[in-house]
Amino acid sequence: GAGVSQSPSNKVTEKGKDVELRCDPISGHTALYWYRQRLGQGLEFLIYFQGNSAPDKSGLPSDRFSAERTGESVSTLTIQRTQQEDSAVYLCASSVTEISGNTIYFGEGSWLTVV
């Protein structure tokens, strides 16, 4: 596809359940990023992948959050034992490489509501 694709676009889950959010980056983009945005707040960096390098997990808020990426393609963000404070839009982005001059493009996000 032409842009970053995320699924599901909306997810409502019960507190305590696990959820998986998927991101398909732009073809050929080796860098992939996950951000979280709570209602009315700014974007929080979560994690980023660059090729075969170890991912930068410095933004993950707790050990309930994890992410994987298969090669240079799809990534999955998993939230275990969801809590109400996890309710947010989760945004994925990709870039050709991690180099500062390469533009990062965002998807439209996955809206997560924990009830």
Give the nearer residue to other proteins in terms of CB position, either 52 or 100.
100
50 with 98: CB under 8 angstroms?
Answer: yes
Residue 11 vs 106, nearer CB to other proteins: 106
| Least spacing, CB of residue 48 vs other proteins, in Å | 5
Q: Which residues of the chain form contacts with other proteins (CB under 8 A)? A: 4, 31, 33, 35, 37, 39, 42-43, 45, 48, 50, 56, 89, 91, 93, 95, 97-101, 103-109
Task: Count Cβ atoms within 10 A of the Cβ of residue 16 and give its class: 0-12 exposed, 13-18 middle, 19 or more buried.
Answer: exposed
Order of strands across the sheet with 75-79?
A: 5-7, 19-24, 75-79, 65-69
Cβ-based nearer residue to other proteins, 80 or 96: 96
